[in-house]
Amino acid sequence: MVKKLFLLFVLLMPIVADAAPKNTKKEEPVVHLTDDQIYAELKKLALVFETARDKFVEEADERKMLEGAMNGMLAALDPHSSYLSKEDYKEFNDKSHGEFGGLGIQITSEKGAIRVISPIDDTPAAKAGIEAGDYITHIDGEQVFDLTLNQAVKKMKGKPGTKVKLTIVHSGEEPKEITLKRAIIKVKSVKFSAKDDTAAADDDKLAKIGYIRISDFGATTTKELKNAIKDLEKKKVAGYVLDLRNNPGGYLTAAVDVSDAFLDGGEIVSTRGKEKTDIERMFAKSGDLVNGKPVVVLINHGSASASEIVAGALQDNGRAIIMGSQSFGKGSVQQQKPLGDGSAIHITIARYYTPSGKSIQNEGITPDVEVLQSKLEVLEKKESMFSEATFKNSLKNDASKKKDSAKKKDKKADKSDDDDEEDLLSLTDEEKDERDYQLQRAMDMVRAMSKIGKKNIEEPKEDKKSDKKDSKIEVKKEDKKSETKKEDKKSDTKKDSKK
């Protein structure tokens, strides 16, 4: 009877939560109940359950009532805690290991509505144009207000190939209805490529920039990242752009491993639980897999949780420049607690802090260089209205015929404002990169950092008598013997760049 009463206790929790004032500046201290008071509430809860089951106008589903009660109790704690049925828990594990069914969208609950944290790359949601920050108001014409996350997810799930209609609200725009086809979502966590650095074409060894895109932090992320770095290092890239935009997070351990790949030591993150002594610190091991090359991390408002751990670790350790826009601001850690019958509780167990001791909860990571996604607009025309060519009877250029044909090609290539609305899916990866303003600026930063690094390494060779204080970047303090040997000096510099 006590066990049954304990399970039923959760029915009253949503009522208590709704009655409490939300977003108040000053939190009231928690008033704990005595054992006698708890037992009295459990008896009341049992009475509520039995009355609802017996008197409800339709046949009551006891399992549904109890699961709803447990969900309500956990949802009253924070938006990320929930009850996972056997089906939910199995799906969660499948998703974490790289494959699951659905639309490919990470959502959260906000003010009774469903908000998109981020779509996952190459999924129906991403291809349909759903963006981080969008709100979902209806699923198949049914309002989603006050649905739990699990209920909303179940409505969007279904047999692969079937369709679902979502009503989406972009910021500042009218609601629009889109139809998506459900699919088996196979998540490849890491994508990478060596992008040509045309501005550094004179230096063959530093003519490429390593681009690594991490779409989420799953069980396979660490292995995929190491393989990507290994491949890019063989191509002798000048530096790296680590793209964490619209990455909703994932495993804490994966975030630690990704940070460790770019660090040669130092704290990565600390987690702090309920008790003051419940603190765990995680540190990077010796060995920077990219050999000290410059790193730029791209983030935006869709970068959450594990993404923010990586960005914060590399920022606070001075290892990378963070570019983009303010991140999502989810600074809590969740854990699954199995209940023994195939179900589980997904519950927030700690807050995490960056190496400098900063919590990003509700604030996010502030980029070192803010670069908002933009579209370049040509302000200067190719040909001026006033030039030598505009004069009457001016001499023609010998190659004028070639220029005329080139003009015709340029006119075909020119696009109107309406053409900018074209489907991005028809563009090649290279064309998408060219239009990605944030990515282009990140590559510019890597290019500049690599050139500054090379300049400071080469300067001591040209002027041995220069004072060490004049050098802005000191690679390594050399011993007296190495100062007299150019070859030793050159060798030491190469080793230091690896460190």
Catalytic residue among 189, 293, 330, 343: 330
User: Which of 11-25, 90-104, 123-137, 454-468 is predicted with the least confidence, judged by mean pLDDT?
Assistant: 11-25
Cα separation of 84 and 338, whole Å? Answer: 9
Query: Does pLDDT of 142 surpass 90?
Result: no
Cα separation of 85 and 139, whole Å? Answer: 22
H or E element: which one contains 89?
helix 86-96
Catalytic residue among 316, 325, 332, 450: 316
Query: Does pLDDT of 370 surpass 80?
Result: yes
Tell me whether residue 316 is one of the annotated catalytic residues.
Answer: yes
Tell me whether residue 109 is one of the annotated catalytic residues.
Answer: no
Please report the pLDDT score of residue 133 as a whole number.
85
Q: Which range scores top for mean pLDDT: 6-10, 184-188, 495-499?
A: 184-188
Cα separation of 248 and 97, whole Å? Answer: 15
Q: What is the mean pLDDT of the chain?
A: 78
Choice between 186 and 271, residue whose per-residue pLDDT is larger: 271
Structure tokens at 75: 């949802």
C-alpha dihedral, 346 to 347 to 351 to 354, nearest 10°: 0
* Model confidence pTM above 0.85: no
pLDDT in tens, 64-121: 888 888 888 898 898 889 898 888 888 777 666 656 668 888 888 776 678 888 888 8
pLDDT in tens, 392-441: 666 776 665 555 555 555 554 454 444 444 454 456 667 777 888 899 99
Checking phi first, is residue 427 left (phi over 0); if not, alpha (psi -120 to 50) or beta? Answer: beta
pLDDT in tens, 342-359: 999 999 999 999 999 999
Catalytic residue among 81, 305, 325, 343: 305
Cα separation of 182 and 157, whole Å? Answer: 7
Q: Find tokens 């929930």 and name the residue.
A: 82
Cα–Cα distances (Å) from 482 to 101, 152, 188, 479, 491, in that order, read 61, 67, 48, 6, 10
For residues 230-258, average pLDDT:
94
Please report the pLDDT score of residue 21 as a whole number.
38
Query: Which positions ≥6 away from 245 have C-beta within 8 Å?
Result: 298, 299, 300, 302, 303, 324, 438
Confidence of residue 388 (pLDDT cuts 50, 70, 90): low
Cα separation of 8 and 77, whole Å? Answer: 17
Query: Does pLDDT of 241 surpass 50?
Result: yes
CB 189 within 8 Å of CB 221: yes
Tell me whether residue 259 is one of the annotated catalytic residues.
Answer: no
Confidence of residue 147 (pLDDT cuts 50, 70, 90): confident
User: Which of 172-176, 360-364, 371-375, 460-464 is predicted with the least confidence, judged by mean pLDDT?
Assistant: 460-464
Cα–Cα distances (Å) from 51 to 5, 40, 43, 44, 55, in that order, read 14, 17, 12, 11, 6
Query: Does pLDDT of 9 surpass 60?
Result: no
For residues 141-167, average pLDDT:
84
End-to-end CA distance of the chain: 64
